[in-house]
Structure 1
Amino acid sequence: MVSQIESVTDAEFDAQVLKSDKPVLVDFWAEWCGPCKQVAPILDEIASAHGDKITFLKMNVDENPVTPSSYRVTGIPTINVYQGGEVVKSIVGAKPKAALLKELDAFIA
């Protein structure tokens, strides 16, 4: 299944994420990361259900090294939620859907 979540690059990050008027979830991932592949379909499901309230984007850390390092993303998958240009939530590691929904409740409720 191809992800419905669009990719964001270092060059687009400021405009698409930091200047967004609604919360933006960014999934930091890499091709070689097994847990990232487990989380991807879960995030697709959540995005399908709640994409009107929060924007979902993903960033390949190998192709875009600048942004992850500026936000000290050291382990992946790391899911950051940005609001008003700030990180308001950081979720590190693969989590089941119920756990992710609970973490994101404030943004999707």
Structure 2
Amino acid sequence: MSVVTVTKDNFEQEVMKSQKPVLIDFWASWCGPCKMLSPLVDEVAEEALYAKICKINVDEQPELAGVFRVMSIPTLAVLKDGKVISTSVGVQSKAKILKMIEE
């Protein structure tokens, strides 16, 4: 499954109304660690078909970054039934990302 780019316009439908767990990668184009994490998130999207994998560009969607109180990037957040159940800041291993989703 491919990564879904989330904006304030599709946030409600793609994230809050998702029947699957949702992993959100908060990132920015100028962020070095975000560039390191991005390929791992893409791999997770191909493997974790039981989850929806999304990316939110914090520069383009500051309102959404504010809703999630994102202070540092990259930040990963996992939501189930519209509620945040797990977050992490910084580059994570693929195994750790998959574990976050599965918990």
| TM over 0.5, shorter chain | yes
Which TM-score applies when normalising by structure 1?
0.86
Contact 2:23–2:101 (8 Å) recurs in 1: no
Equivalent in the alignment of 1:99: 96
Equivalent residues in 2 for 1:1-109 (5 A)?
A: 4-50=2-48, 52-106=49-103
- Structure 2 counterpart of 1:32, which letter? W
Which TM-score applies when normalising by structure 2?
0.91
Contact 2:25–2:54 (8 Å) recurs in 1: yes
- Tell me, in whole angstroms, the C-alpha distance in 2 between the residues paired with 1:55 and 1:102: 14
Contact 2:51–2:101 (8 Å) recurs in 1: no
The Cα of 1:101 is off from its aligned counterpart by 2.9
Q: Which runs of 4+ in 1 moved over 4 A?
A: none
- Tell me, in whole angstroms, the C-alpha distance in 2 between the residues paired with 1:87 and 1:16: 15
Unaligned runs of 5+ in 2: none
- Tell me, in whole angstroms, the C-alpha distance in 2 between the residues paired with 1:96 and 1:88: 19
The Cα of 1:46 is off from its aligned counterpart by 1.3
What's the CA shift string for 1:24-83, capped at 9, x where partnerless? 111000000000010110111111111x20000100000001011011011000011111
How many residue pairs are counted as aligned between the two chains? 102
